[in-house]
Amino acid sequence: MTKDELLVTLKNIVKPYIQDEEAFINLTENTDFINDLKINSANLVDVVLDVEDEFDIEIDNDAMEKMLSVKAAIDIITTKLNEK
């Protein structure tokens, strides 16, 4: 999976939880889930669980700790996919 494909998949995953449409339309690697997309922090758990389901990977606690931005999520997913 290319980075662009990964970004599209991730965008679809976060879509149901975002509360800032404009930030979502302008989403880049630097977008922050909470500060920019205004995702409720409890819904960040859903993002993590949806990522696990979609990519069939396990996001352990250490990885989850860092999952605050699009860039961090992409890095984590890429690492976990490579470990498979």
Partner 1 sequence: MIGNDIVDLSVAQKQSNWLRKGFLNKIFTETEQDLILNNNNPHQLVWQLWSMKESAYKIYVQQHGKRFFAPNKFECTLENQTQGIVTLDTQKYTIQSKITDNYVYATASLQHQAKVESFCFKIEDTSASNQRTTTYRQLKKMVHKRCNIPILNLKIKKTQAGIPLLYHGNKRICFPFSLTHHGNYGAIAIDDNNLIRTSTGLV
| 3 is a contact residue toward partner 1 (CB under 8 A) | no
| 65 is a contact residue toward partner 1 (CB under 8 A) | yes
The residue (of 7 and 48) whose beta carbon lies closer to partner 1 is 48
Dist CA 61 CA 16 (whole Å): 23
Handedness of CA 52, 59, 25, 41 (dihedral sign): positive
Render the burial of 47-61: b for 16+ CB within 10 Å, e for the rest.
bbebbeeebebebee
What stretches of the chain adopt beta strand conformation (E)? Answer: none
CB of 1 to partner 1, least distance (A): 23
Q: Could you report how far apart the first and last alpha carbons of the chain are, in Å?
A: 13
| 19 is a contact residue toward partner 1 (CB under 8 A) | yes
Binding mask 32-51 for partner 1 (x = CB under 8 A): --xx--x-xxxxxxx-xx--
| 71 is a contact residue toward partner 1 (CB under 8 A) | no
Summarize as ranges the residues that interact with partner 1 (CB under 8 A): 19-20, 34-35, 38, 40-46, 48-49, 52, 61, 64-68
